[in-house]
Amino acid sequence: MGTYVTQQWTPRTTDGVPRRFTRSGTYQAFVPDSLLDLDVPLDGPVLALLDEAESRAREAADLAAHAGLGQIGDLLVRSEAAASSLIEGYEPTPRAVAVADFVARGRESAVTVARTLHAVRASVERARDPGVSLVWDVVELQRLIAPRHAGVRTEPVWIGGRTPLEAHYNAPPHDQVHRLLDDLDAYLSSRRHRPVLAAALAHAQLETIHPFADGNGRAGRVLIGTVLARYGVAPQITLPVSTALFRDRERYYAALDAYRQGDRGLAVVHVVAEAVTAAAADALRLSDRVTQWQRRQTESLDTYLRERSSTGRVRHGVAHRLVTDLPTHPVLDAATTAARYGVTAVAARNALDALAAAGVLRPDRKADRTRTVYVATELLDLVAEPGVAAEADAAPAVDVPLAATDPEAGTACGAWLPRAGRSCRLPHGHRGQHR
């Protein structure tokens, strides 16, 4: 289970703060036991659940070489990053995130998710390198996710409440975090447990350690994917496990609480195994939907070109190649297209304009001051949370850079986010609108 250690809390500032938040006192911080010593009671149903999860994940990974699923690898990364951020209360549309990722600026919520997208995308390649430490690589990836609070924390953190004296959970003291991360890394290197079991336990352990001042949840869910990749279950694709976790997030939160209360990981193993199974099904379903989408767009493009042709013939050129590659590059501009396909800027612009006229792409002249970008909006909507229709962006992008923003964060916004089922944690007065 773990042990509790007594810590002293003294608030840094008291001016203008309600009295209940200015009192000092002691609190109990939780320090988890090593996973190297954890014996998880695996009965028949749990073993069957793990077998199913690993089998389904391998089936999806085996199809990564197939043209359909192989092309949607980046869309799966987008789905995982969006859902992982949605659990934390960030809910921009997939289109807003894709544009922010392409032009390196946008509304604050979109930029925040784009940072998570960068981390998930980077984790795919790095997890395949056996010389990379999975745990300490997550520490590096957290710097992409939350650059304002990058690196291992040097102060107390807690969940719930304004101070640790009234918190729902108090994480281990900061001076023990490095030791706990080294121990977690030793556990993953030991291959003591099977893949999905190890991914679930490592995720719960990292969430319990809470090694960062911000970005713990998103970094912890990246770890699930990197463990599955390193252990050979899904080495070529990122399964959108966070999408499944978001669907049943209250059970997910309860499982993490149960782990901290000594259930030896049973609840979190159930939740993560079921999420992996669902994520594999989601990947295959997305592959079919993207294939159908490409077929429809090709037909629309052919119809448009045939109507403009004096002979009624359709000449396949750059525009058709773009349709094929849109799952990997859903946001484009003329310069990028010209460089990628080795054509002139005029030819690239003509191809993009033809796709826009055929309804395949949507031109956006406000995302960047110096260029028009073209977005495959309908394609990006396919990666939105299943069952939730993507909404139109309420406002154009504003100049929030993708790099780190002002380190002086104010109090939390507190606006209620119905999709996430919780209040907004962005600083008060942040730019961007809630939907």
The catalytic residues are 210
Please measure the distance between the N-terminal and C-terminal CA atoms of the chain and give it in whole angstroms.
40
215, 146 contact by CB (below 8 A): yes
Write out the two tokens for 37: 């010593």
Quick one: CA torsion of 293, 299, 305, 311, rounded to 10 degrees?
A: 160
Distance between CA 80 and CA 241 in Å, rounded? Answer: 7
Q: 424 is written with which tokens? A: 């907004």
**Sole residue written with tokens 């970008």:** 373
- The verdict on whether residue 170 carries a ligand-binding annotation is no
Element (H, E) at 347: helix 345-357
Burial of 376 (0-12, 13-18, 19+ CB in 10 A): buried
Is there a binding annotation on residue 353? no
Asked if residue 190 lies in contact with residue 36, where contact means CB atoms within 8 angstroms, the answer is yes
Q: How is residue 104 written in tokens?
A: 């390196």
* Residues 6 or more apart whose Cβ sits within 8 Å of residue 292: none
Residue 169 assigned as binding residue: no
- Other CB atoms within 10 A of residue 5 CB: 14
Nearest of 431, 397, 434 to residue 415 by alpha carbon:
434
Q: Which residues lie closer than 8 Å to 11 by C-beta, 6 or more apart?
A: 17, 21, 22, 23, 24, 163
**Is 43 flagged in the annotation as binding?**
no
CA distances, 36 to each of 184, 187, 286 (Å): 8, 5, 37
221 annotated binding-site participant: yes
- Contact between 196 and 233 under an 8 Å Cβ cutoff? The reply is yes
Q: Is 216 annotated as a binding residue?
A: yes
Establish how many alpha carbons lie within 13 A of residue 133's alpha carbon, considering only the half-sphere containing its beta carbon: 13
User: For tokens 């520490």, what's the residue?
Assistant: 139
Separation between Cα atoms, residue 218 and residue 425, nearest integer Å: 14
Q: Which helix (H) or strand (E) holds 363?
A: strand 362-368
Going by the DSSP 8-state scheme, the letter that residue 369 receives in this structure is T
Q: Which residues are annotated as a binding site?
A: 214-221, 252-253
Q: Which residues are annotated as a binding site for ATP?
A: 214-221, 252-253
